[in-house]
Amino acid sequence: MPFPFTPLVDKLPSSVPFVGPEALERRTGTKFRARIGANESVFGPSPTVIAAIAAAAAESWQYCDPENHDIKAALAKHLGVAPENVMVGEGIDGLFGYAVRLFVEPGVTVATSLGAYPTFNFHVQGFGGRLVTTPYVDDREDPDSLIDLATRETARLIYFANPDNPMGSWWDHGSVQRMIDRIPDGALLMLDEAYGEFAPEGTLPPLDVTNPSLLRFRTFSKAYGLAGLRLGYCIGHADLIRAFDKIRNHFGVTKLGQVAGIAALGDQPHLNSVVGKVITARDRIAAIARSNGLTPLPSATNFVAIDCGRDGDHARRVLDALVAAGIFVRMPGVAPLNRCIRVTAGTGEDLALFAEELPKALAKAD
């Protein structure tokens, strides 16, 4: 007998936005030698964070504080805003799900860029939203095109990432502010700043929590090295933030996650050290690409998109050869972005393995 799914769910494909390295390892029966594809921080969390998690582990029998009071207070102090302007959730992905649930129902239009972060689209489709897209321009999401599209299509939500995943591109704060100033009436801009810590100074506009048409999303998964604990946060107008309480999982942020986030914020020297290591790794990845006749794209993230010089089929062959050699990397999913592979900043050993295997992968792909 068929399961009594809702008509919407019944029509959706059974899929996930990403195939994880663990799934590939299970499929092949071998472990990756270099895990440089998921935009994680291979440099790990701060030692003070590890110590704080260890100290709190014995209290894991307790539920977390469902109000996330202490981590919200720490974030508010760090950001220079009030706690009522901060929402904490299970990573940016979880927060996207809550935000989409607040504003999207079947038939509601949502504007994004073709090839942008797929998990956001996954949530929109899951609530029956209508996705409209505009292409990247010169490997960057185009703010003007996106706002024009949202205006034409009367979109309720607009998704824009700065810096961008999967291309690593970015806009200066003035360009982003002009986009914010053009948000159409009745629309809400969801500004994804997951990679903001790696970006050049002047990339992120100043926070403005008085704007009721803007939500800004950030995370502990990237620069702070806490991807496995699922901790992110959203900054916005108090009325917007308060609405999340109507539908969020109040026990979704774990006790250890809250402890880890507070400790991470308290160790900014570690954050600065990680950013420095990422910049060094980006330069090394770019040099490896150029030495193999490929073009690395400028990046303000913890990864580098490498133009393989042909089409998506060729880039896929390069990627498959690297994966077969034990080097986990990923690639954009939509043309023309998929002419690239995407390599996360790694350790010296990781990148030495990548440098060794890339020319072999290119030869196999020809």
Structure confidence at residue 336 (pLDDT): 97
Q: Are residues 75 and 172 in the same domain?
A: yes
Q: Are residues 58 and 207 in the same domain?
A: yes
pLDDT digits (tens, 9 = 90+) for 247-300: 999 999 999 999 999 999 999 999 999 999 999 999 999 999 999 999 999 999
Structure confidence at residue 2 (pLDDT): 72
Q: What is the CATH number of the domain that holds 318?
A: 3.90.1150.10
Domain annotation covers residue 36: yes
Domain annotation covers residue 342: yes
* Domain end call among 240, 266, 292: 266
Domain annotation covers residue 11: no
Q: Are residues 201 and 330 in the same domain?
A: no
Structure confidence at residue 313 (pLDDT): 98
pLDDT of 90 higher than 90: yes
Q: Are residues 241 and 277 in the same domain?
A: no
Q: Are residues 147 and 240 in the same domain?
A: yes
Domain annotation covers residue 154: yes
Structure confidence at residue 17 (pLDDT): 77
Domains in the chain, number: 2
Average pLDDT, the chain: 96
Structure confidence at residue 275 (pLDDT): 98
* Domain end call among 235, 266, 297: 266
pLDDT of 1 higher than 80: no
Q: Are residues 220 and 80 in the same domain?
A: yes
Percent of the chain, pLDDT > 90?
95
Domain annotation covers residue 4: no
Q: What is the CATH number of the domain that holds 124?
A: 3.40.640.10
Domain annotation covers residue 6: no
pLDDT digits (tens, 9 = 90+) for 297-344: 999 999 999 999 999 999 999 999 999 999 999 999 999 999 999 999
Q: Are residues 115 and 195 in the same domain?
A: yes
pLDDT of 5 higher than 90: no
With bands split at pLDDT 50, 70 and 90, how would you rate the model's confidence at 200? very high
Q: Are residues 231 and 291 in the same domain?
A: no
Domain annotation covers residue 12: no
Q: Kindly state the average pLDDT of the residues 85-98.
A: 98
Domain with 283 in it: 18-44+269-365
Domain annotation covers residue 359: yes
User: Helix/strand/coil (H, E, C) string of the chain?
Assistant: CCCCCCHHHHHCCCCCCCCCHHHHHHHHCCCCCEECCCCCCCCCCCHHHHHHHHHHHHHCCCCCCCCCHHHHHHHHHHHCCCHHHEEEECHHHHHHHHHHHHHCCCCCEEEEECCCCHHHHHHHHHCCCEEEEECCECCECCHHHHHHHHHHHCCCEEEEECCCCCCCCCCCHHHHHHHHHCCCCCCEEEEECCCHHHCCCCCCCCCCCCCCCEEEEEECCCCCCCHHHCCEEEEECHHHHHHHHHCCCCCCCCHHHHHHHHHHHCCHHHHHHHHHHHHHHHHHHHHHHHHCCCEECCCCCCEEEEECCCCHHHHHHHHHHHHHCCEECECCCCCCHHHEEEEECCCHHHHHHHHHHHHHHHHHHC
Structure confidence at residue 215 (pLDDT): 98
Q: Are residues 70 and 120 in the same domain?
A: yes
Q: Kindly state the average pLDDT of the residues 80-109.
A: 97
Q: Are residues 83 and 97 in the same domain?
A: yes
* Domain end call among 211, 231, 266: 266
Q: Are residues 287 and 226 in the same domain?
A: no
pLDDT of 206 higher than 90: yes
Q: Are residues 119 and 225 in the same domain?
A: yes
pLDDT digits (tens, 9 = 90+) for 155-182: 999 999 999 999 999 999 999 999 999 9
